[in-house]
């Protein structure tokens, strides 16, 4: 069997990457999605101070990346959630339920000292399977 092809994805509707990376990379039937954060098309933080609104934007972006690769939240294998304040996890979790429904990914959650732009409260990266 030949080696899978590496395919870089740039997803419509996501903010431009902040540095030398792309929105997602596909390798065979695996998809690696870069950390999604609530950055608007203008490069500014969406909903400063509102972690629930930021989490919705994050999951909208993640959903767009999944859809662009032909997959969805039900096929997410692993997420890593980064919070500037771990006390926000309950609010983020409510949003997560809205998007994941009954699908349960493996998950790690950590509190971090800072995210890429001042004012960001939550970032989520994901690895997903792509159904054949």
Partner 1 sequence: MNPVRKQLSDPPGAPPALRPYYSNAVRVRAGDLLFVSGQVAWDADGQVVGKGDPVRQAEQVFTNIDTILRANGAVFDDIVKVTVYVTDLTWFERLSDLRIQWFSGSPPASTIVRVSALVAPDLLIEVEVVAVL
Q: Which residues in this chain contact partner 1 in the complex, by CB under 8 A? A: 28-30, 74-75, 77-80, 84-86, 89, 93, 96-97, 100, 103-113, 127, 129, 131-132
User: Least distance from C-beta 111 to partner 1, angstroms?
Assistant: 3
Angle CA 49–52–54, to nearest 5 = 65
Q: Which residues contact 83 (CB under 8 A, 6 or more apart)?
A: 89, 92, 109, 110, 111, 112, 121, 122
Whether 29 contacts 129, CB under 8 Å: yes
User: Least distance from C-beta 41 to partner 1, angstroms?
Assistant: 29
In the complex with partner 1, the residue whose CB is nearer, 14 or 31, is 31
In the complex with partner 1, the residue whose CB is nearer, 42 or 90, is 90
């Amino acid at each position: 069997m030949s080696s899978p092809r590496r395919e870089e994805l740039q997803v419509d509707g996501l903010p431009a990457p902040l540095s030398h990376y792309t929105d997602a990379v596909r390798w065979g039937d695996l998809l690696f999605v870069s950390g999604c954060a609530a950055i608007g098309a203008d490069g500014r933080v969406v909903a400063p101070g509102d972690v629930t609104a930021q989490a919705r934007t994050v999951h909208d972006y993640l959903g767009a990346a999944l859809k662009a690769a032909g997959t969805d939240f039900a096929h997410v294998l692993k997420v890593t959630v980064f919070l500037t304040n771990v006390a926000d996890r309950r609010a983020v979790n409510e949003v997560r339920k809205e998007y994941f429904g009954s699908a349960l990914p493996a998950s790690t959650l950590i509190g971090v000292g800072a995210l890429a732009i001042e004012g960001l409260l939550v970032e989520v990266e994901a690895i997903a399977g792509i159904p054949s």
